Amino acid sequence: MYEKTDEFGPEKVIEVHDAKSGLHAVCVIDNTAIGIGKGGIRLVPDITINEVAALARAMTWKNALAGIPFGGAKSGIKADPKTADKEKLMRAFASALKCVIPSLYCAGPDMNTTEREMGFLADELGDMKAATGKPASMGGLPHELGSTGFGVAQSAFEALAHKEMDVNGVRIAIEGFGNVGTFTMKHLCEKGAKVIAVSDSRGAVYDERGLDYDALLKAKAEKGTVTAYGNGAKILDSASLFSLQCDMLIPGARPNVITAVNAPLVKAKIIVEAANIPMSVEVEKSLSSRGILMIPDFVANAGGVISSYVEYIGGSESEMFAMVQEKITSNTRLVLENTINNDTRAAALKIAKERVIGAMNEKKS
């Protein structure tokens, strides 16, 4: 039995074992004071209840700060993504969780699940509100549209404005060139920013003159790595990206990439956390103490969940981008205006908690 509870939740912890399908899954509905629980389903071989519960709590704060009527939740399916029959597992998951989907929980894509798996879930239950991030053919707004990266760029613009730095010519380094990193770079470059370095799992490419977005996208598509970029750029190891001389650093792929070891080498004036948990809170505080402006992950990367809300209410792609821009911009600004001693995470959490507590008190009255 899961016993790590507090005044916020979790409200429900459901663990499912199904011998017929081989399903072993966990669903944690953390808090539904603001709305039904919203959070993705990740499919990994080592999922634990504690991990899912922590992710569900993170979604409670992310959704509250995003200003959308969703509570926090998360799910995990324990399986090897390379060998699992994902359709079979997803349909079994949907069937087992129909007691809470979609009445208390709306799913979405996460690690090793995509629009395809969300389509299976919605189809199994015969309800399009069972999940977001579905295929466009099912009325979905797939994450492949780049809502998260677009939102990260909006948060970055607001951070630059706060520091009174002109976006035109600002030097940026981006870790990761997947869905988030590519769209973040695209929207930053369109406004005149100079992305001088990008990395992926096979290395980093660096050019002080700025990298060409289309050429980098082509190299990645054709050769599978940004290091195939050419054009006179330097090839570095991935870890070197974090110590480059730049104005803004955007960790946008793996967790815990900035550590106590390499944090002292960071030279950026601003860090926008596009990835989830790119560093520990302790490391974040050490960088803040040096005067580096931090934009926490659940502030900067909420574009995906805002997109999910627009899909949930039947909105269009253009409406989605408009809402992501408005909410990410206004919430980043709100956090920065309420920050004391450069502790942006504390300011963001305070705002999110106040919103959740207000909704909980309203439910009681």
CA 36 – CA 39 distance, rounded (Å)? 10
Fold of 147-303+333-349: Rossmann fold (3.40.50)
Active-site option among 62, 74, 220, 269: 74
Specify the pLDDT at position 1. 60
Domain boundaries, the chain: 12-58+71-140, 147-303+333-349
Q: In whole angstroms, how far apart are CA 72 and each of 8, 14, 27?
A: 10, 15, 11
For the chain, give the percent of residues with pLDDT over 90: 93
pLDDT of 3 over the 80 cut: no
Mean pLDDT score of the chain: 96
Distance of CA 180 to the CA centre of its chain: 8
pLDDT band of 144, cuts 50, 70, 90: confident
HEC states along 206-232? ECCCCCCHHHHHHHHHHHCCHHHCCCC
DSSP run (H or E) holding 205: strand 203-206
pLDDT of 298 over the 70 cut: yes
Q: What angle do CA 145, 225, 301 make, to 5 degrees?
A: 35
- Can you tell me the mean pLDDT for 297-323? 96
pLDDT band of 151, cuts 50, 70, 90: very high
- 74: annotated active-site residue: yes
pLDDT of 236 over the 90 cut: yes
Q: What are phi and psi of 220, to 5 degrees?
A: -65, -40
CA 193 – CA 175 distance, rounded (Å)? 16
CA 170 – CA 167 distance, rounded (Å)? 5
Same CATH topology for 12-58+71-140 and 147-303+333-349: the answer is yes
DSSP run (H or E) holding 302: none
The CATH superfamily label for domain 12-58+71-140 reads: Leucine Dehydrogenase, chain A, domain 1 (3.40.50.10860)
Torsion sign, CA atoms 146, 150, 151, 156: positive
Specify the pLDDT at position 364. 86
